[in-house]
Structure 1
Amino acid sequence: MRVLFLVQGEGRGHLTQALSLAQILQTAGHEVIGALVGVTAERGIPAFFSEKFTAPITPVFSPGLVYNVGTNELEPVKTTLQAIQYIRPFWRSLRYVRDTINAQRPDVVVNFYEMLGGLTYALLRPAAPMVCIAHQYFAFHPNFQRPKGQWFYRQAFRLNTRLTCFGARELLALSFDKQPDEPRQRIRVVPPLLRQEITELKPTPGDFLLAYVTQPGLRVELLKAHRQRPDIRIDGFHAEATGPDQVVDETLTYHAIDGRRFLDFMVRCKAIVTTAGFESVCEAAYLGKPALMIPQPNHFEQACNAIDGQRAGVGIASDRFDLEQLLAYLPKYDVDLSERFRAWHAQGYFLFLAALNRAASSRTRSNSSGGFFWTRVRQLLRS
């Protein structure tokens, strides 16, 4: 089976998932023939992906999310206006994706939440079947947990998610735990895709808290929490640290962002404080480290992740760096959760391969019946 990837380049999560699936496919004897990665003028392809992904990588322009420079809040209105501003280069990208798929003739295209994929299949109808993979598709599942209110952000999130998956055979919804499939929404619930480095680690009990902070406001809260409880050792990774080990005092040390060192600290920590990105919380759960999940302001997806993660027992959701809340939660953390999480993760190898094989084998049938996308449109019109 020959597989082509489409990957959203925003953040690390989708790129890491693509690396993980590539490892699964290659282990099973299949070929990943390349990756089209959505980029902007300000955001290129990260080195960690280009160094480890063994197939050809092609950057393709795709409008990204807009965040407030001072607060790191997601700004949906500016994101929408920017997308409208770049409509012409975006259209050229859609045609490039279509032409690449038709020229390379993969057996299946795997889309990691890149809007180029859904809109290309909606408007230009490439020949190869597409499967979409992301935790965001779990938002269409009846068991998904959502924050109250936030109507505007909820609708914007649902619209963006729909735009990524038009024409997909199946939506593989990454989940913290096993849930029933939802055939009416084309959803199959699957385990997280974790990088191989995580599965090879051996966690040990720890006596310090590990913090990964990207928001300026969250760093202020971290320092405030430290002053309230100076007896608790905290190691914090953030982008503005002046060196590998910036010692503030005896129990607080900042570290420059370094993926390998961060994993070393995660293995040895007591618990982790982080934004509610799905990937990082899953890595902590695999290693048996409870998480205090603090969504970025106005980031509806992360707000959902925090609530859903709390439901699954991987940690506790909060809107601020509440050290007392985390310390009170630690004795209640289910120490057996890591084993259940690992068992769920282990099922992924077979579930992902089965989904891609289903899509590839259905190609002939769908072509003879006029194409899956238009079949799906007719179904929606009748419902």
Structure 2
Amino acid sequence: MKVLFIVQGEGRGHLTQAIAMERLLTRHGYHVTEVLVGKSLSKRLPGFFTRNIQAPIKQFSSPNFLPTRSNKRANIPYSLLYNLLKLPEYAESMRFIRQRIKESQADIVINFYELLTGLTYFFFRPAAPLVCIGHQYLFLHNDFQLPASINKGELFLLNLFSRMTSLGASKRLALSFRSMNPDKKQKIFAVPPLLRQDIFYQEVSQHNYIHGYMVNSGFAENVYEWHQKCPDVPLRFFWDRWEEEPVKRIDDTLSFYQLDDMLFLRQMAGCKAYASTAGFESICEAMYFRKPILMVPAHIEQECNAYDAMQNGAGIVDENFNLERLLDFAKTYQPNAKFAYWVQSAESIILNELESLVPTHFEEQMYMVEEFI
């Protein structure tokens, strides 16, 4: 069976999910024909992705959120204006996606939260069934609990974006920290986190350093300020500042690394605690390694991630990289014992969801033909 991937190229999570999904499907006889990645001018595809994906990679121009001057949070008004000006370019990208779906003869298209995929299905109606996968679809689930303090306007825009990425989808596979009943009305099915196989082969230990990841490098100032107060605590943080050298050593106990996925996992497996901007993927990895977590959300999506993770025993939430709180929390941290079993069931659950889709889709197509005749 032929499968086409379309991946949002921002951040680390969607890229690692695509790698994990390709390996999962390949083990079971599926053929991933190619991987289409939406890119922005401010980001580039990290080496871990281009090295690990086996299918041919093709890139296209895609909408993205631009950071504020401090490079910590997204600048929503400026991002909207910027993307409106690029609408003709995005229209060309949709035509490209439609053409690749047709020429690849894909039996299924799997979308990793790329906006233009949903818009392509809305305007052009490709024949291949669409499956959308991402943690964000869980926020649309009727049984999902959101923090009481959430900004309703921002939440509306986030959920609107999620719905737009999945226009025309036959299923929304919502990556979740726990099992939930399906929301069949909205075609939402909760599935375990889609983690790369490499995570299962890491030797877990506990050294005295704090491991970290920031999707926006502006948070480095917070880390550096805390480091000046507590220089004896070793810190190893990863960021997206590609103009820097692979490892920028500030001193003997503070280093910043360009994103390298295998090094990232090894550092996480050996750390005392983990601090991040609350991306779903790395939270799941830290939970699997049983590491206490400090989450510093950079936008509304990460606020929802952090709240959900906190409800499932992952860690604590703060507005800044207050690492002293993380060290205090680590002293009493009790890992979620059920989480590892949930993660290990991902392969069978996700395969069942995909395999249940294709016969249904073909039956629908045959019914339409018969009705026409």
Q: TM-score, normalised by structure 2?
A: 0.91
Correspondence list, 1:54-203, <5 A: 54-141=54-141, 142-146=143-147, 148-203=149-204
Cα deviation, residue 82, structure 1: 2.1
Q: Which residue of 2 aligns with 1:309?
A: 309
Which of 286, 289, 296 is 1:287 aligned to?
289
Report deviation, 1:328: 2.6
SS at match of 2:247: coil
Whole-angstrom distance in 2 between the partners of 1:343 and 1:18: 21
Structure 1 window deviating more from structure 2 (314-323 vs 224-233): it is 224-233
Match of 1:375 in 2: none
User: Alignment partner of 1:256: what SS?
Assistant: strand
Long gaps (5+) in structure 1 = 372-383
- Structure 1 370/340 Cα, relative in aligned 2: closer, same or farther at 3 Å? same
C-alpha separation between the residues in 1 aligned to 2:307 and 2:54?
Answer: 36
Mapped contact 1:173–1:188 kept (Cα < 8 A): yes
Instruction: Give the match's secondary structure for 1:235.
Output: strand
Q: Once the two structures are superposed, what CA deviation does each residue of 1:63-120 show, in whole Å capped at 9, x if it has no partner?
A: 2221124333201222222222122221222122122222322111101001111111
SS of the residue aligned with 1:328? helix
Partner of 2:235: 234
Hey, what's the Cα distance between the residues in 1 that align with 2:19 and 2:320? Answer: 32
CA distance in 2, matches of 1:146, 1:367: 42
Corresponding residue SS for 1:111: strand
Query: Match of 1:365, SS?
Result: helix
Q: In 2, are the aligned partners of 1:241 and 1:254 still within 8 Å (CA)?
A: no
Residue identity in the other structure for 2:270: R
Measured after TM superposition, the shift of residue 44 of structure 1 is 4.1
Residues 23-71 of structure 1: CA deviation (Å, up to 9, x unaligned) = 0001111111111111234434333222211112211221222112433
Q: Could you say what secondary structure the match of 1:301 adopts?
A: helix
Match of 2:267 among 265, 268, 277: 265
SS of match in other structure, 1:162: helix
Give 1:214 shift: 4.9
Which residue does the alignment assign to 1:349?
347
Paired residues of 2:71 and 2:219 also in contact (CA < 8 A): no
Q: Secondary structure at the match of 1:222?
A: helix
Equivalent residue letter for 1:346: Q
Where 2:326 maps in the other structure, the secondary structure is helix
- Who is 2:25 aligned against? 25
Decide which moves more: 16-25 or 54-63: 54-63
- How far is 1:215 from its partner? 4.3
Equivalent-residue separation in structure 1 for 2:354 and 2:275 (angstroms): 35
Instruction: Note the C-alpha offset of 1:236.
Output: 3.2
Moved more, 210-219 or 185-194: 210-219
Query: Which residue of structure 2 lines up, in the alignment, with residue 246 of structure 1?
Result: 249
Query: What is the distance in 1 between the residues matched to 2:47 and 2:148?
Result: 35
Aligned residues: 365
CA contact (8 A) 2:46 2:259 kept: no
Distance 1:172 1:214, change over 3 A: closer
Q: Distance in 1 between matches of 2:30 and 2:71?
A: 44
Q: How does 1:217-232 map to 2 (within 5 A)?
A: 217-232=218-233
Alignment-mate amino acid for residue 262 of structure 1: F
Paired AA for residue 283 in structure 1: E
Distance 1:369 1:147 in 2: 46
Which amino acid is the alignment partner of residue 227 of structure 2?
H
Measured in 2, the distance between the counterparts of 1:149 and 1:268 equals: 34
- Alignment-derived partner of residue 327 in structure 1: 327
Looking at structure 2, the residues matched to 96 and 247 of structure 1 have their Cα atoms a distance apart, in angstroms, of 44
**Structure 2: gaps spanning 5 or more residues:** none
| Identity percentage of aligned residues | 35
Q: Shift in Å at residue 369 of structure 1?
A: 5.0
Deviation at 1:370, TM superposition (A): 5.1
Whether the aligned pair in 1 keeps the contact of 2:211 and 2:236 (CA below 8 Å) is: yes
Q: Secondary structure at the match of 1:36?
A: strand
State the shift of 1:223 in Å: 3.0
Q: Is the 8 A contact 1:208 1:271 kept in 2?
A: yes
Contact 1:147 1:304 in 2 (8 A): no
The residue identity in structure 2 corresponding to 1:164 is: T
For 1:53, the equivalent position in structure 2 comes to: 53
Q: For residue 192 of structure 1, report the CA deviation from its aligned partner.
A: 0.8
Q: Which amino acid aligns with 1:181?
A: P
Q: Tell me if structure 2 keeps the 8 A contact 1:138–1:144.
A: no
The match for 2:37 is: 37
Letter in 1 for 2:154: Y
List per-residue Cα deviations over 1:322-372 (Å, max 9, x = no partner): 23322232233214x2x422211111101111111122212222224559x
Write the letter of the residue equivalent to 2:161: N
Paired residues of 2:214 and 2:237 also in contact (CA < 8 A) = yes
- 2:4–2:35 Cα contact (<8 Å) kept: yes
In structure 2, what residue type is equivalent to 1:287?
Answer: F
Contact 1:147–1:303 (CA<8 Å) still a contact in 2?
Answer: no
Give the C-alpha shift of residue 230 in structure 1: 4.2
Amino acid at match of 1:30: Y
Shift of 1:150: 1.8
